[in-house]
Every structure is written in C-alpha cells, then in structure tokens.
C-alpha cells in the first residue's frame, strides 16, 4: 500500500529508459509516451485520491527506519503538485508531436522528457535533503539536454549560461547541506526539523537557512537571482519552454515552502520579513522586464518572475490564509504558464516570427487560438472568474490584514502591468486588419489548439471550481503551519 508513493517516480523513470531503446521508431515512441503519460496521470490521481481519503503515505525505502533510510513523503501538498505536473506533461506530450522536428524526436526527446518528470516528481515527494539535491540534479541534467536539443547557435550560447548558473547553485546546495549536517547531524528533513525545534533555531542555523534560501531562490528566480531565466527559457523548442516555465521554477518555490514551513520557522522576524522585501522587488523587476520587449516569447518568460514574487509573498506573510494563497497561486501558475508558453509557441510556429511588431490580424485566421490566449491572459492577470484571482485575493487580503500596505500596492500595480503586457500581445498580434496574403494552416493550428484547450479548461476549472479545490488547499496550509504533524508522520514516535 505505501509503495504507491514511489510510482510517480518509477513510472516515468522506466518509461524514459524504455523509450531510449526505441528512439529511431518515431511513431512507436510517440504512441508509447502518450500512453505512459496518460497512465501515469491516472495512477497519480488515484494516489492523490487515497491520500486525501486516508492521510499521507510515508514510504521508507528499503525498509529502513525513518531517519536512517531515505523516506518518500507523499502528503497532500506534494501529491497535488505531482498531479498538476502530470497534467502539464500530458498536454506537452500531445503538443510535442507537432512542434518537434523529426530529428529532435529521434534524438531522445521523450527519454529526457520522462527523466525531467521523474526529477520533478521526485523533488516533490522526497523527505530527505540530500535526496532532494539528487532529484534536483536529475531534473537539471535532463533540462540541460532538452535546452540544447536542436543545437542552434543561440541555444548553445544561452545553455552555457544556464548550465553554469545551475551548476554553481548545485555546488552551493551541497555545501549548505554539509553545513547543516555538521550542525544537526542528519539529512532527513523531519529529523532536521525536530532538532532545529529543540534548539529553537539558535546560532548558526539562521545563517544556514538564508544560504539554503539563496540556493532555492536561484532555481526559483527570485529578485537578485533571476537574470539567467528569461533568455534561457526562450531558446529551446516551445514544448521544452512550456515544461521549464511550468515546472522548474516551481520546484524551487516548493522547496522554499517546504523548508520554511517545516524546518526554519523560529526566526520569522529575520527570514520571513526578508522574503517580503524580495517578493516585492521580484514582482517589480519581473514586470518591468515583461514590458520592455517586443519579443512575445520573452514577454511570457519575464512573466514567470512576478508570479514567483506573489508566491514568495505568501510564504513571507506566514499565516494560514497567506500560505493557502501561495499554494493556490502555485497550482494556478504551473498550469497557466504551461498554457501560455504553448500558445506563444503555436503563434511563433504559425507566423514564423516572434516579433510583436510584425504580427497582426491573427484572430481572423486562428480564432480558437486567439480566444484561448485571451482567456489565459485574463487568468494570468487574475480577473475574477478565473483561477489567478483566488490566490491573489487571499494574498492581498492577508497583506492588508498584516498591515503590509506597500507590498499590497505593489502587488496590485504588478497585476495591472501583467494584464497590460498580455493584452498588448493580444491587441497587436490578434487584432488588426485581415492579411489576405496568408493562407492559414488550419490542420496545424487545430493540432496545436487541442492540448492548449485542455490546459485552459483545467485552469478555468481551478477558478470556477474553487469550491472543490479551495478546501483541499486550506487543509494543506493548516497542515504546513503545524510542522509537528509532518515530523510525527515521518518519524512515528
């Protein structure tokens, strides 16, 4: 029964290994990966269902008792994120068969794709800090391979920077883990939390907490450490960008959320106050970037950054409502960023340019993609019936309740500017005179529209069906704010 927790890691891992053997048979590997992704989504949803019914699943791998072996902790938060990951994976795998070239597909795209999902699921599920590092490396290694897949001049140029910054932060991660090990004598997260609690985070532990924050902040693209993100996310194939935009930074945010709600929660004045400032700066700088360019891919890419700011703001406020706001925003943002990258990829593939000034009148040729983009933009900006609204509402309300007026104002202005940057794409690319010289590629655009519509439908559900999702999120945030539940369920004392 508790072996269920390993399936979200095991299925994509085996699928990745198997698809490496059949890489030349493009059709076969396509069908195989579509099947496996759907099966994986079903399995993961079933695991999620059992967890919400019977409480979290703790798997002690190899039968070793908790602090001595590696534990996989599938609690409500991790499984919800794993389910979202797999929904995005299904949409991307359907999109991939149209947007990848024959050559890219046969050069192990699907293998790396599955390894990326393995790494992301593993990072969400693990209960061990060093194991988290290993899963980070699994997902980063496959992201290195995916980012250069195709081997264009710009891709090579940007991926060197991407690999270097991530390598540096990984090395820092190892160093910080070793510091933490020398202080508390363990790498199991529950036991670290217990021991930090015993000394109430005295002495060196706050320094280690801030170092650890910087490691995760580099992965999550928080204010001073986001400069590597925008350009490296636009160079690979649109499917790869969608996977990166939806998953990679969110793993960093999840790690911050986990570490700063279970382990380092005793010096809130120092750490969490510091997050609020960084969150405000992240929002401002990200949205300024989004307004500064006419490249539609770059606009979407910059829009990742303010979203990270919003999630960090919830962690910084550190109350039950604000943490649930962060979690809601996290779920919403994973889906909507995947959607937007796919739409923009489709637009670029259909028009052949990513420059906003060279487009116009696309709505006459591709109405479905146009309206999907419109809905996704409203979702991103947080217009009431859609999913971005609820997360933002909770965050801003809680900000007001805590008298953090400055960050609330910044958050509101940021939302407005996000909306502006998105509607700018909509107005310039989709509106305007019909260009009769273009013959629309209907077959291709329909193939692009399906996976996008799937994700948009899911993100609309997150907004309209908040009645179903919100109670779960509320439970999760109550669970996160009481670290003893996590510790007790893992250490079983």
Partner 1 sequence: MEIITSMLAGILFATGIYNLLQKQMLRIIIGTALLSHGAHLFILTMGKLKRGKPPILVEGVEKYVDPLPQALILTSIVISFGVTSFLLVLAYRASLLNETDNMEELRGSDYE
The footprint of partner 1 (CB under 8 A) covers 130, 133-134, 137, 141, 144-145, 148, 151, 153-154, 156-160, 163-164, 167-168, 170-172, 174-175, 177-179, 181-182, 187, 231, 292-293, 295
CA-nearest of 139, 111, 118, 153 to 23 is 111
Q: How far apart are CA 130 and CA 459, in angstroms?
A: 33
If the CB atoms of residues 107 and 371 are measured against partner 1, the closer one turns out to be 107
In angstroms, give the least distance from the CB of 78 to partner 1: 22
Q: How far apart are CA 443 and CA 390, in angstroms?
A: 36
Contacts of 146 (CB under 8 A, 6+ apart): 109, 112, 113, 116, 236, 240, 243, 244
Residue 253 token pair: 């945010």
If the CB atoms of residues 172 and 393 are measured against partner 1, the closer one turns out to be 172
**What SS3 state is found at 319?**
coil
If the CB atoms of residues 34 and 134 are measured against partner 1, the closer one turns out to be 134
If the CB atoms of residues 150 and 483 are measured against partner 1, the closer one turns out to be 150
Q: Tell me the DSSP string of 418-438.
A: HHHHHHHHIIIIISS---TT-
If the CB atoms of residues 32 and 144 are measured against partner 1, the closer one turns out to be 144
In angstroms, give the least distance from the CB of 200 to partner 1: 22
If the CB atoms of residues 56 and 159 are measured against partner 1, the closer one turns out to be 159
In angstroms, give the least distance from the CB of 83 to partner 1: 28
The CA-atom distances, in angstroms, between 304 and each of 36, 148, 288 are 29, 21, 12
In angstroms, give the least distance from the CB of 145 to partner 1: 8
In angstroms, give the least distance from the CB of 158 to partner 1: 8
Q: How far apart are CA 195 and CA 338, in angstroms?
A: 39
If the CB atoms of residues 174 and 413 are measured against partner 1, the closer one turns out to be 174
The CA-atom distances, in angstroms, between 459 and each of 28, 168, 455 are 31, 35, 6
Which backbone phi and psi does 347 adopt, to 5 degrees? -60, -45
If the CB atoms of residues 215 and 408 are measured against partner 1, the closer one turns out to be 215
In angstroms, give the least distance from the CB of 142 to partner 1: 11
The CA-atom distances, in angstroms, between 79 and each of 140, 249, 409 are 21, 17, 33
Judge whether 30 and 106 are in contact, CB under 8 Å: no
User: Left if phi > 0, otherwise alpha if psi is -120 to 50, otherwise beta: which for 281?
Assistant: alpha
The CB density around residue 53, as the number of other CB atoms within 10 Å, is 7
If the CB atoms of residues 289 and 388 are measured against partner 1, the closer one turns out to be 289
In angstroms, give the least distance from the CB of 171 to partner 1: 5
Residue 423 token pair: 């509607």
If the CB atoms of residues 170 and 319 are measured against partner 1, the closer one turns out to be 170
Which backbone phi and psi does 295 adopt, to 5 degrees? -85, 115
If the CB atoms of residues 187 and 407 are measured against partner 1, the closer one turns out to be 187
In angstroms, give the least distance from the CB of 212 to partner 1: 14
In angstroms, give the least distance from the CB of 104 to partner 1: 16
Q: How far apart are CA 327 and CA 342, in angstroms?
A: 23
In angstroms, give the least distance from the CB of 134 to partner 1: 6
The CB density around residue 482, as the number of other CB atoms within 10 Å, is 14
If the CB atoms of residues 3 and 292 are measured against partner 1, the closer one turns out to be 292
CA-nearest of 191, 190, 213, 209 to 201 is 209
In angstroms, give the least distance from the CB of 170 to partner 1: 8
Q: How far apart are CA 165 and CA 218, in angstroms?
A: 8
The CB density around residue 180, as the number of other CB atoms within 10 Å, is 24
Which residue's entry shows tokens 């400032």? Answer: 277
Contacts of 434 (CB under 8 A, 6+ apart): 361, 364, 365
In angstroms, give the least distance from the CB of 355 to partner 1: 10
Judge whether 462 and 336 are in contact, CB under 8 Å: no
């Amino acid at each position: 029964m508790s072996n269920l927790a390993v399936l979200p890691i095991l299925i994509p891992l085996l699928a990745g290994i198997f698809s490496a053997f059949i890489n030349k048979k493009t059709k076969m590997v396509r069908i195989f990966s579509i099947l496996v992704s759907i099966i994986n989504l079903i399995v993961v949803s079933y695991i999620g269902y059992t967890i919400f019914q019977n409480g979290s699943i703790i798997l002690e791998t190899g039968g070793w008792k908790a602090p001595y072996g590696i534990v996989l902790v599938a609690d409500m938060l991790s499984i919800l994120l794993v389910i979202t990951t797999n929904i995005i994976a299904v949409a991307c795998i359907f999109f991939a068969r149209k947007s990848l070239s024959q050559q890219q597909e046969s050069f192990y795209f699907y293998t790396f794709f599955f390894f990326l999902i393995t790494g992301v699921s593993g990072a969400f599920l693990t209960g061990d800090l060093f194991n988290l590092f290993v899963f980070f490396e699994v997902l980063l290694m496959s992201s290195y391979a995916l980012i250069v897949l195709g081997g264009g001049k710009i891709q090579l140029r940007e991926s060197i920077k991407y690999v270097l910054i991530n390598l540096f932060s990984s090395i820092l991660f190892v160093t910080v883990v070793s510091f933490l090990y020398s202080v508390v004598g363990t790498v199991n997260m529950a036991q670290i939390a217990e021991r930090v609690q015993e000394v109430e985070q005295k002495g060196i532990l706050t320094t280690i907490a801030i170092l650890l924050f910087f490691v995760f902040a580099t992965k999550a693209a928080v204010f001073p450490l986001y400069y590597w993100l925008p350009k490296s996310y636009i160079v690979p194939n649109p499917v790869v960008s969608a996977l990166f935009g939806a998953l990679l930074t969110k793993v960093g945010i999840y790690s911050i959320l986990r570490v700063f709600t279970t382990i380092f929660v005793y010096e809130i004045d120092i750490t969490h106050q510091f997050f609020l400032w960084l969150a405000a700066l992240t929002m401002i700088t990200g949205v300024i970037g989004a307004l500064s360019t006419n490249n539609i891919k770059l606009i979407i890419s910059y829009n990742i950054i303010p979203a990270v700011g919003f999630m960090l703001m919830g962690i910084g406020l550190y109350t039950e409502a604000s943490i649930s706001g962060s979690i809601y925003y996290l779920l919403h943002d994973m889906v909507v960023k995947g959607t937007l990258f796919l739409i923009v990829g489709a637009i670029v593939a259909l028009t052949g340019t990513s420059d906003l000034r060279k487009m116009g009148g696309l709505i006459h040729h591709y109405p479905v993609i146009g309206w999907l983009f419109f809905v996704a933009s409203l979702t991103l900006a947080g217009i009431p019936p859609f999913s971005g609204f609820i997360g933002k509402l909770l965050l801003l309300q809680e900000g007001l309740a805590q008298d953090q007026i400055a960050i609330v104002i910044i958050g509101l202005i940021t939302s407005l500017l996000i909306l502006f940057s998105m509607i700018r794409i909509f107005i310039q690319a989709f509106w305007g005179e019909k260009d009769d010289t273009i013959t629309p590629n209907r077959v291709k655009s329909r193939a692009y529209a399906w996976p996008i519509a799937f994700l948009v439908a899911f993100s609309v559900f997150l907004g309209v069906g908040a009645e179903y999702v919100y109670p779960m999120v509320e439970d999760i945030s109550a669970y996160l704010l009481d670290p003893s539940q996590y510790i007790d369920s893992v250490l079983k004392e």
